[in-house]
Amino acid sequence: MRQPGRSRRAILEAGFWEIYRQGFRAARVEAILSGTGLTKGALYHHFPTKTALGSAVVDDVIRPRVRDWWLEPLASAPDPIDGLLRVVRGLERDDAPEMLVGGCPVFNLLQELAGVDEPFRRNLVAVLDEWRDAIAAALARGQAAGTVRADLHPDVTAAFLISTYHGLAGTAKAHRSPTVARRLLRSFVRLIETLRAGASPGAAV
């Protein structure tokens, strides 16, 4: 019955959801385990402490998610703007209904721990940086190809886009409303459209 490595994965997955829903500090170890059928002995074997579990969740669950949802699609898209739009529209799909009103995992943790846990914060900011770099690189490629406005700074714009995205994800979470989420996403789409070479200002907001 022993599945080496499988238990660790189960704890990580359950830990992700408990932390996502309750926040890291309010996440209870017992609650994480209750869904897995494992006990504290198992958890303590794989992770020395709750904080270590939290870090592992960031590294082994959240970061891959960001890569799959944002970085990969962007890297493989011929045009960055189209790539961004496809990613953003993917968020509205029913695949992740909880995510639509639960906020972005990275941002949630950052908001909770930025002022309280420095190592945790650094780890999460590293995710943010990787994210921004990927978007900036895509924008630069678009500029080279002539599909993205030449007057904008790729990394400044990338940072602002992520910031804006987190703002609307957080606002949708605040309202707990998919409708609000979709409305804000539409504004976000219009903002992205203004990045296209030769865009007209009227579409901005």
Partner DNA sequence: ACACTCGGGACCTCCCGTTGTT
Partner DNA sequence: AACAACGGGAGGTCCCGAGTGT
**Positions in the binding site for its own copies (CB under 8 A):** 21-23, 25-26, 102-103, 107-108, 110-112, 114-116, 121, 124-125, 128, 149, 151-152, 156-157, 159-168, 170-171, 173-176, 180, 183-184, 187-188, 191, 194-195, 199-202, 204-205
191 binds, among its own copies, DNA, none (CB under 5 to 8 A by kind): its own copies
3-state class (DSSP) for residue 129: helix
CB of 53 or CB of 124, closer to DNA: 53
Residue entry with tokens 């990338």 = 158
Cα 60–chain centre separation: 13
CA distance 99 to 78: 27
Residue 50 binding result from its own copies, DNA, none, given CB thresholds of 5 to 8 Å by partner type: DNA
Retrieve residue 29's tokens: 């170890």
**Interaction site with DNA (CB under 7 A):** 1-8, 27-30, 37-42, 44-46, 48-51
Q: How far is the CB of 120 from its own copies (least distance, A)?
A: 11
CB 53 → its own copies: shortest distance, Å? 18
The answer to whether 128 and 162 have CB atoms below 8 angstroms apart is yes
Residues 6+ apart with CB under 8 A from 158: 132, 133, 135, 136, 139
